[in-house]
Amino acid sequence: MNQKKSVVYPYIPNSEPAIKKQMLAEIGVSSIEALYADIPEALRLKKALDIPEPFLSEYELVRHVEEILAKNKTCKDHLNFRGAGCYQHFVPAVCDEINGRSEFLTAYAGEPYDDHGRFQALFEYSSMMGELLEMDVVNVPTYDGFQAAGTSIRMASRLTGRKEALVCGPISPDKLSMINTYCSPDISILQIDFDPGTGQIDLDALEKAISKKTAAIYFETPSYLGLVPIQGKEISGLAHKNGAECIVGVDPISLGILAAPSQYGADIVCGDIQSLGMHLQYGGGQAGFIATRDEEKYLIEYPSRLFGITPTTVPGEYGFGDVAYERTSFAIREQGKEWVGTASALWGITAGVYLALMGPQGLTEVGQVVMEKSHYAARQLAKIKGLESPKFTGPFFREFVVDFSQTGWTVSEINSALLEFGLFGGKDLSQEFPELGECALYCVTEILQQRDIDRMAAAVKEILK
């Protein structure tokens, strides 16, 4: 008797043979096969799937996955100076505690009655983002900052009936690729260059390019290269003079010290909230936001869920629900605005927790500390012979470009050497911006200490010696 005993899987309670038999009897069939009668024989898979043997015990599964993950080097055991869209900021313990709660983690799409907590938590997230952005409408998060930018441009196009958008200044080529693909059926994307000395948006070029065909001007602060544009008012003025929307992409963590874009004329503000309490996760913590003024013409152009506050039948009870649901693809399929679906709600809740913990003082402080430490790092690198740091003279936040072109080393070589020192050096820009030569984008957040920055600068110096 060497018959293989069938497995009763811990995640599949009714894999237990007796119960299976009992349920089949109740249905009135002799086998599960009979339940698949609608699937034609020709389509039935005749073999077992060729996938690896499983680790049926939880312990062995953990061993297996841990062994694979151990091949990763992490930003916990290395000093990380890489950002470029994904940032290693401090994550308060309470953020993880809340997003790990079963009640939030495993919920989905219930009604405001059974899932009241999710509605309130996301309404509060939008509300706190609204304070940071000084805007009255903020959506339930979309996929990421890329999507937020793509959708903002489409919103502007629908609002103005125009089919052209001007994307200004340094932007991530990946993001530009996504925007192009996303808008390409009916919106042309034109790029406006930046000044090679300051890194600031070329206003003359912008002025020449804008026309009555322009749906929107889009620019970022801080930009992909860390630069803070100084001409916010001029740019939004130019947009409005031509009947276009002004869209500003922003990392909300900078807004404790940088002006909210609405203060210099932005109509639509968008960006990524990964900085607000999400771990790096190899890019898995990204989530996008879109914000506007509370005007009907803007609000009805959102594809996303928007949760609003409303009374219930019991006086004093806060209720929540979907605002203007009829604009969504859930309600009217292809007649809705773009589409809505599963996106990044858990990260929205987490960002809300982060903002509540930080408060106005925390946000102001983190902005200031990031400014100070990143400027300090830029200065330490500037002391090394042959390095231009920062390369651009314009103001920057958190990230700055370091030019290694005069050292005879490529950034790639330097980063490989830095790895030996336990460091992840700045993001290599030589592929994305070949015109800059051998440049790297260094990122310094509040979690790096003076000794960390000094260690990095010393390592670079040692390598170049």
CB of 199 to other proteins, least distance (A): 13
Scanning residues 193 to 212, which ones bind other proteins (CB under 8 A)?
none
Pick from 241, 368, 406, 462: which binds other proteins (CB under 8 A)?
368
Scanning residues 127 to 146, which ones bind other proteins (CB under 8 A)?
127-132, 134, 136-141, 143-146
Pick from 155, 244, 258, 440: which binds other proteins (CB under 8 A)?
258
Nearest to 239 by CA among 198, 272, 199, 268: 268
Q: Is residue 450 a contact residue for other proteins (CB under 8 A)?
A: yes
Pick from 152, 160, 200, 221: which binds other proteins (CB under 8 A)?
221
Q: Is residue 188 a contact residue for other proteins (CB under 8 A)?
A: no
Stretch that binds other proteins, among 160-168, 194-202, 206-214, 291-299 (CB under 8 A): 291-299
Q: Is residue 226 a contact residue for other proteins (CB under 8 A)?
A: no
- Name the token pair of 339: 């589409």
- Name the token pair of 338: 């773009």
Q: Are 463 and 386 in contact (CB under 8 A)?
A: no
Q: Is residue 227 a contact residue for other proteins (CB under 8 A)?
A: no
Nearest to 417 by CA among 408, 429, 409, 407: 409
Q: Is residue 435 a contact residue for other proteins (CB under 8 A)?
A: no
- For residue 80, list its beta bridge partners: 424
CB of 410 to other proteins, least distance (A): 13
Backbone angles phi, psi at 393, to 5 degrees: -85, -15
Q: Is residue 420 a contact residue for other proteins (CB under 8 A)?
A: no
Q: Which H or E run contains 320?
A: strand 318-322
Q: Is residue 251 a contact residue for other proteins (CB under 8 A)?
A: no
CB of 367 to other proteins, least distance (A): 8
Select 130 or 208, whichever has its Cβ closest to other proteins.
Answer: 130
CB of 249 to other proteins, least distance (A): 12
Q: Is residue 158 a contact residue for other proteins (CB under 8 A)?
A: no
Pick from 17, 196, 197, 360: which binds other proteins (CB under 8 A)?
360
Q: Is residue 112 a contact residue for other proteins (CB under 8 A)?
A: yes
Strands (E), 334-425: 399-403, 423-424
Select 331 or 458, whichever has its Cβ closest to other proteins.
Answer: 331
Whether residue 252 is preceded by a cis peptide bond, meaning omega within 30 degrees of 0, is no
Q: Are 266 and 235 in contact (CB under 8 A)?
A: no
Q: Is residue 17 a contact residue for other proteins (CB under 8 A)?
A: no
Using DSSP's 3-state secondary structure scheme, residue 52 falls into coil
Give the largest CA-CA distance in the chain.
87
Select 4 or 211, whichever has its Cβ closest to other proteins.
Answer: 4
Q: Are 390 and 439 in contact (CB under 8 A)?
A: no
Task: Identify the DSSP state of 141.
Answer: P
Stretch that binds other proteins, among 157-165, 239-247, 321-329, 400-408 (CB under 8 A): 321-329
Stretch that binds other proteins, among 158-166, 195-203, 206-214, 332-340 (CB under 8 A): 332-340
Residue with tokens 């190899």: 282
Residue 275 is which amino acid? Answer: S
Pick from 311, 386, 408, 422: which binds other proteins (CB under 8 A)?
311
Scanning residues 22 to 81, which ones bind other proteins (CB under 8 A)?
22-24, 26-29, 32, 34-40, 42-45, 48-56, 58, 61-62, 64-66, 68-78, 80
Euclidean distance between CA atoms 341 and 353, whole angstroms? 23
Nearest to 344 by CA among 151, 152, 142, 149: 142
Residue 55 is which amino acid? Answer: F
Nearest to 200 by CA among 157, 167, 168: 168
Residue 133: C-alpha distances to residues 164, 269, 298 (Å):
26, 8, 16
Q: Is residue 442 a contact residue for other proteins (CB under 8 A)?
A: no
Q: Is residue 178 a contact residue for other proteins (CB under 8 A)?
A: yes
Stretch that binds other proteins, among 198-206, 208-216, 281-289, 457-465 (CB under 8 A): 281-289
CB of 295 to other proteins, least distance (A): 8
**What pairing do the DSSP bridges indicate for beta strands 79-80 and 423-424?**
parallel
Pick from 163, 208, 212, 233: which binds other proteins (CB under 8 A)?
233
Scanning residues 383 to 402, which ones bind other proteins (CB under 8 A)?
395-396
Pick from 156, 166, 169, 175: which binds other proteins (CB under 8 A)?
175
| Contacts for 184-190: CB closer than 8 Å, 24+ residues apart | 186/157, 187/153, 187/154, 187/157, 187/163, 187/215, 188/163, 188/164, 189/153, 189/165, 190/164, 190/165, 190/166
